[in-house]
């Protein structure tokens, strides 16, 4: 198993530049042009990482997360993380959008067995972030494809049965995860 960690990318600490350099190198390895690789998702991700995208008001926080493998020194996925107060949910919800995998995985150059490890690494990294830096009671993962839906649903069932989370549900193209702490928070709010 690899040594994955979700890094929050920004220009200030140089992590955005490191991410771009790695994905440019990966694009070169697969014969792709970085500026033409996933331009829709990467342009949004770049705007958030560089601070050129307008910020949402209130207590919303939007960041870019990227899955880093300390063993290979590569980034294998990136996504937008939006923490917000949503209606009908206790506390904050961390939404995961625009999840994209690296050029090596996207073009099948990386080992096929690595893809599930990357998806699990992203999920576990997001859960970790929701417990500290982007504290949230709920996590909503937006799924990329029907294959992801199947994988995330199976993973969700395993998580739901593990008693680690209060609730794990697939809703359309979303996986809704409610943390155990969120149930306690909701019960406290109902008694007030």
Q: What is the CATH number of the domain that holds 76?
A: 3.40.630.30
Mean pLDDT estimate for the chain = 85
Instruction: Look at residue 145 and tell me whether its pLDDT is greater than 90.
Output: no
Say which residue the tokens 């995961």 belong to: 96
Q: Which domain holds residue 40?
A: 4-191
Task: Give the whole-angstrom CA distance, residue 139 versus residue 93.
Answer: 5
Task: Give the whole-angstrom CA distance, residue 22 versus residue 31.
Answer: 14
The mean-pLDDT minimum among 101-115, 144-158, 163-177 falls in 144-158
User: If we measure between CA atoms, which residue out of 10, 27, 117, 123 comes closest to residue 62?
Assistant: 10
If one counts the domains in the chain, the total is 1
Average pLDDT on 3-12 reads: 94
The model's pTM: 0.86
Query: Are the CB atoms for 75 and 67 separated by under 8 Å?
Result: yes
């Amino acid at each position: 198993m690899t040594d994955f960690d979700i890094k929050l990318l920004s220009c200030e600490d140089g992590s955005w530049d490191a991410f771009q350099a790695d994905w440019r190198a990966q694009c070169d390895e697969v014969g792709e042009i970085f500026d033409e690789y996933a331009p829709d998702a990467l342009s949004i991700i770049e705007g958030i990482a560089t601070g050129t995208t307008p910020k949402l008001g209130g207590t919303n926080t939007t960041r870019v997360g990227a899955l880093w493998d300390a063993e290979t020194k590569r980034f294998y996925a990136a996504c937008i993380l939006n923490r917000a107060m949503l209606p009908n949910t206790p506390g904050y919800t961390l939404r995961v959008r625009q999840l994209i995998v690296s050029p090596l995985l996207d073009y099948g150059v990386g080992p096929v067995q690595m893809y599930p490890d990357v998806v699990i690494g992203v999920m576990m990294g997001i859960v970790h972030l929701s417990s500290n830096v982007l504290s949230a009671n709920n996590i909503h993962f937006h799924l990329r494809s029907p294959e992801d839906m199947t994988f995330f649903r199976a993973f969700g069932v395993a998580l739901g049965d593990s008693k680690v989370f209060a609730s794990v549900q697939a809703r359309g193209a979303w996986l809704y995860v409610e943390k155990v702490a969120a149930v306690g928070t909701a019960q406290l709010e109902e008694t007030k």
